[in-house]
Amino acid sequence: MHRKKALIIELLLVGLVISVVLTNSPIAISAETADETKTLESVEIREYEGIDLSSITAFKENSIKGPQYIDAENYTLTVSGLVNNKLELTYDEIVNSYRRFEKVVTLQCVEGWSVTILWEGVLVKDLIKAAGVDPNAFMVIFYAYDGYSTSMPLQYLIDNDIIMAYKMNGVVLPPERGYPFQLVAESKWGYKWIKWITEIELSDNKEYLGYWESRGYSNYGGLEEPFFGPGPYYGIWLMQIAHAETIPEFPSWIILPLFVMATLAVIMYKKRLPKKRCTGSD
């Protein structure tokens, strides 16, 4: 009888010890990890409201100097030029202080490939509005960390609610995709989608040519017209008509290519003409 009581007491003591250990263990673990912040890996969205999205890895690397790596803590976006107040904005100020917008837009590259992405960011017109727009401003010039630049009419950016994105498919832009910001220039060819934006300048210079535009690409850059050749003249002409501007003179750089093409056409035509055969009566 005494042995049974002793066995029962021993079992109760063992159970009490186990209970105390199990009860205190979570508390000890919580105390060790309560001050630790763990960052979980971002999950890329591949479908949005019934639309299949491209992967963020589907892009081809074609930047002029390769991917740029920018430290957000030392980053500053400048809004300058024809503004009432020049702005110097940090990454956190842009992301946390301005309205956030999402939109699915397809980027069409002149190389023949395209990607459809859910872009998230702020409106360019909100940044410009905060700086105050001079009435003489017509063009907006974007500059990148690697020296790249491009320009677009101010009215295009306002009318189309153009986004300066900091996320794609729900994840923060990776460096090769333009972190901290890429322009979502919808309805424009890919070379207008400038990455690694560091400055936005408002200007009255209607003839400004960016990196590829100065090499013959269309300054207008619209998908409805060729990206190379007569596009620059035609595109700017349309934009100036729309804003009651003076039609520019016929660009002199077109004359030489047209002359060469016409000369080649004449030569080819003459080669195809049937040759005359000599006869005794000639």
Domain membership flag for residue 280:
no
At residue 181, what are phi and psi to the nearest 5 degrees? -140, 140
Residue 105, strand partner residues: 117
Domain span at residue 159? 47-210
Q: How many domains does the chain have?
A: 1
Residue 16, pLDDT score = 53
Q: Which amino acid is at 275?
A: K
Domain membership flag for residue 36:
no
Which of 259, 68, 267 shows the shortest CA–CA distance to 148?
68
| Widest CA span in the chain | 149
Domain membership flag for residue 65:
yes
Residue 49, pLDDT score = 83
Given phi > 0 = left and psi -120 to 50 = alpha, else beta, which region is 216?
A: left
CATH number at residue 51: 3.90.420.10
Domain membership flag for residue 118:
yes
Print pLDDT tens along the chain (282 aa): 556 555 556 655 555 545 544 445 443 434 445 556 566 667 899 888 888 999 999 999 999 999 999 999 999 999 999 999 999 999 999 999 999 999 999 999 999 999 999 999 999 999 999 999 999 999 999 999 999 999 999 999 999 999 999 999 999 999 999 999 999 999 999 999 999 999 999 999 988 999 999 999 999 999 998 887 554 444 444 444 444 444 344 455 566 677 678 778 767 766 665 544 333 333
Residue 260, pLDDT score = 74
Is the four-CA dihedral 126, 129, 134, 135 of positive or negative sign? Answer: positive
Q: How many beta carbons lie within 10 A of that of residue 226, not counting itself?
A: 14
Residue 159, pLDDT score = 97
Q: Is the pTM of this model over 0.85?
A: no
Domain membership flag for residue 95:
yes
Q: Per-residue DSSP letters for 98-123?
A: S--EEEEEEEE-TTS-EEEEEEEEEE
Domain membership flag for residue 187:
yes
Which of 158, 182, 186 shows the shortest CA–CA distance to 168?
182
Locate the DSSP E strands across the chain.
Answer: 47-48, 51-52, 76-81, 87-90, 101-108, 114-123, 139-144, 149-153, 163-168, 171-172, 182-184, 197-203
Query: Long-range contacts: 242-248, Cβ < 8 Å, 24+?
Result: 242/155, 243/138, 243/153, 243/155, 245/206
Q: How many beta carbons lie within 10 A of that of residue 229, not counting itself?
A: 14
Domain membership flag for residue 127:
yes
